[in-house]
Amino acid sequence: MRYSMKHSTDNTVRFSRGRSVFRCPVCQESLRCDGDRLICSGGHSFDIAKHGYVNLAAGTKGSAEHYDKASFQKRQQILNAGYYSHILEALASIISELPNVVTVLDAGCGEGFYARELARCLGDKQLIAFDISRDSIQLASKCDPDGLVQWFVGDSAHLPIRSHSINCILDIFAPANYGEFRRAMTRSGWIVKVIPGNGHLKEFRALAKNHLLHQDYSNQQVIDYFAQHFQLADRRLVSQTFTMPLSDRQIFADMTPLLFHIDRSEIDLAKTETLTVEGEILIGRPLDGDEGLDKPPRTGKHTKRSQSTERGKHAKRGRDAKRK
């Protein structure tokens, strides 16, 4: 069966580069690049789209509210303005120092800023990136005309990635499925996760304090949950405060889950000219004796797996707002 999309043979080179790490989302057999498509031995075929990505999540529900095409474009504007460059630079330094890293998977990559820039910084690595949102992957691949990254639409609950094939998984301000991450990682692999620091956007929290259930934010619960699934090898705090125009502060306000459930008309963004962008980077290894969740696939359907997901923990920052 062929899952057809527009394609361009000019983009197939990116899927022929490096090791083949993809597996069929239908039957879990290995996928290989065959011209303008990825195919498996079970007869399933997935076309490479015009802008150089492949959809391996056909029929899966897309991203949630607040994450549409317009929101990804706004995020791209903020990222390209340099407000997260200190986090990017820290990630590039960390990954370059990790031993035996060849393949890097950016999980929940959004508009693709980190994967694209890391591919430029780390030319010897194979960068692979996915998001559940087709809009975000289209935007990411359009901004990568040199074909530096292998982009795909995918579901973190059913990663179309071969078991134990990824040396390093990046999870940057995104939900995680630790069961699938552990299955996809090599047994000597790494996970590098970025979460909001306790001081992230603290200026917004001060402005909205009368509308929040909790005026202070702590990421300790997320760190503890991470440590239940991986050996926490290191943590690094990266923080910078920027003076920025009101237009950029407004975009930040649209982006942050902290303000999703607050009446924005009651928040005067003009009262602060600065914003703090702070991330805490967690560096993890597989637990001793952890073989991942590598169970025999069931042909024709997804194998049910334990889904250690943090979607609720990340969403808590949005639900922190008092309901009207």
d(CA 105, CA 96): 14
* pLDDT tens series, the chain, 324 aa: 544 444 444 567 788 877 789 999 999 999 999 989 999 999 999 999 988 999 999 766 655 555 677 888 899 999 999 999 999 999 999 999 999 999 999 999 999 999 999 999 998 999 999 999 999 999 999 999 999 999 999 999 999 999 999 999 999 999 999 999 999 999 999 999 999 999 999 999 999 988 887 777 899 999 999 999 999 999 999 999 999 999 999 999 998 888 888 888 889 999 999 999 999 999 999 998 776 544 433 333 333 333 334 444 444 444 344 434
Q: Quick one: pLDDT at residue 67? A: 63
Place of tokens 């990254």: 149
Q: Quick one: pLDDT at residue 322? A: 41
Q: Quick one: pLDDT at residue 219? A: 94
Q: Quick one: pLDDT at residue 292? A: 59
Q: Which of 163, 190, 179, 15 is nearest to 98 (CA)?
A: 190
- Specify whether the CB–CB gap between 80 and 241 falls below 8 A: no
Q: Which of 279, 278, 253, 263 is nearest to 78 (CA)?
A: 253
Longest dimension (CA), the chain: 61
Which residues lie closer than 8 Å to 242 by C-beta, 6 or more apart? 83, 274, 275, 276, 277
Residue 225 burial (C-beta neighbours within 10 Å; 0-12, 13-18, 19+)? middle
Domains (ranges, CATH) in the chain?
61-287+303-319 (3.40.50.150)
d(CA 185, CA 165): 6
